[in-house]
Every structure is written in C-alpha cells, then in structure tokens.
Amino acid sequence: AQSVTQPDIHITVSEGASLELRCNYSYGATPYLFWYVQSPGQGLQLLLKYFSGDTLVQGIKGFEAEFKRSQSSFNLRKPSVHWSDAAEYFCAVGALTGNMLTFGGGTRLMVKP
C-alpha cells in the first residue's frame, strides 16, 4: 500500500524568501505524485503533478517540484514566497491503476511580512 509523509507540520518563512516543503512517499512501483494547496475554508486545488519523464515539474503560482526516486521524495519549491501563499499544502501519491489518491498529513505554511 502506498503512503505519504510530510515531515513538517508547520513552516514559517519571510515574504520573498525561498521555500521548500518536504514530501516522502512509499510505493512499490513508479508513483504518480501530486501537490495540492488548500486555502482556509476552501477545498484543495491542484498545484502540479508528476507521472513520468522530466523529474522537475512546473506548476501553477510559480511552484515546482522535483521527483527523486533514490530518496523517495517529491519536494515542493518556490524561489520567492508571497503572502498569498500562506495555506496548507498536501502531497499525494496514486497507484498505477485506479483513482484513489493517498494524501500526506499536510504542511501549514505561514508567511511573515
């Protein structure tokens, strides 16, 4: 069975600083990997996804993530954080077949002015 770990429950960064949110997955085959963002009082929105090919994927809102098979990681990055990026971020993994995503516990990002 697949699983996802997001080691950081809370992260605080200053506006304009760079950001990296960690995600580690466990899955026996090549995973399908996703990052979602949840703003307060709202549902989740897809930021980016990795299926195959280039291990560095670009997403919306200036986010990118890098798939590292050797480390079983799919960390999310942004070079310069904006105050509007404050939200909760979820990493998710999907099996080769089916439609069932397994989500990590989430990382809450706070942005200092």
Partner 1 sequence: DAGVIQSPRHEVTEMGQEVTLRCKPISGHDYLFWYRQTMMRGLELLIYFNNNVPIDDSGMPEDRFSAKMPNASFSTLKIQPSEPRDSAVYFCASSLRAGYNSPLHFGNGTRLTVT
**Interface positions with partner 1 (CB under 8 A):** 32, 34, 41-46, 49, 51, 90, 94, 99-101, 103-106
Indicate the burial class of 91 (C-beta count within 10 angstroms; 0-12, 13-18, 19 or more): buried
- CA 91 to CA 69: how far, in whole Å? 15
Cβ pair 10, 72 in contact under 8 A: no
For the CB of residue 83, give the shortest distance to partner 1 in the complex, in Å: 22
Least distance CB 113 / partner 1 (angstroms): 27
Closer to partner 1 by Cβ: residue 81 or 91: 91
Which CB atom, from 44 or from 81, has the smaller least distance to partner 1? 44
Q: What is the DSSP string of 83-106?
A: GGG-EEEEEEEE-SSSS-EEE---
Residue with tokens 């397994």: 102
Residue 78 beta carbon to partner 1: minimum distance, rounded to whole angstroms: 20
Rounded to a whole number of angstroms, the minimum distance from the CB of residue 52 to partner 1 is 11
**Residue with smaller CB distance to partner 1, 104 or 111:** 104
> Toward partner 1, which CB reaches closer, 8 or 32?
32
What is the token pair recorded at 2? Answer: 């697949």
